[in-house]
Amino acid sequence: MSIFSIKSSDQESEKFISQFHPLEVRVREGQFDSALRLFRFLVQREEILLNSKKKSRYEKPSVARRRKSSEARTRKFLSERRIKNSE
């Protein structure tokens, strides 16, 4: 069993559960580096830092719409470029 395996296949339930339970990584004897790597992976997967940065300041609705529109244009451009490069 890998240390990065996800027990449940339902990611929505995992996100719901993670809202109420803190992340927990158990450190075995002499395996601090692997435990730290696992903790960083879990923090990134749960988007904890990303959400805290987004919620740290108020974003006006017009600014949020503009940002989302810009992100959508970027995603569309990158997907079209990937399709063009694969041909």
- Please, is 43 exposed, middle or buried when counting C-beta atoms within 10 Å of its C-beta (0-12, 13-18, 19+)? middle
Residue type at position 24 = E
Is pLDDT larger for residue 41 or for residue 1?
A: 41
pLDDT tens digits, 51-80: 888 888 899 999 999 999 999 999 999 999
Side-chain-facing half-sphere of 16: CA atoms under 13 Å: 5
pLDDT tens digits, 10-53: 555 555 555 566 778 888 888 899 999 998 998 888 888 888 88
Residue 3 pLDDT more than 70?
no
Q: What is the CA radius of gyration of the chain?
A: 18
CB 23, CB 39: distance < 8 Å: yes
Q: What is the pTM of this model?
A: 0.46
Q: What is the largest CA-CA distance in the chain?
A: 52
- What pLDDT is stored for residue 20 in this prediction? 62
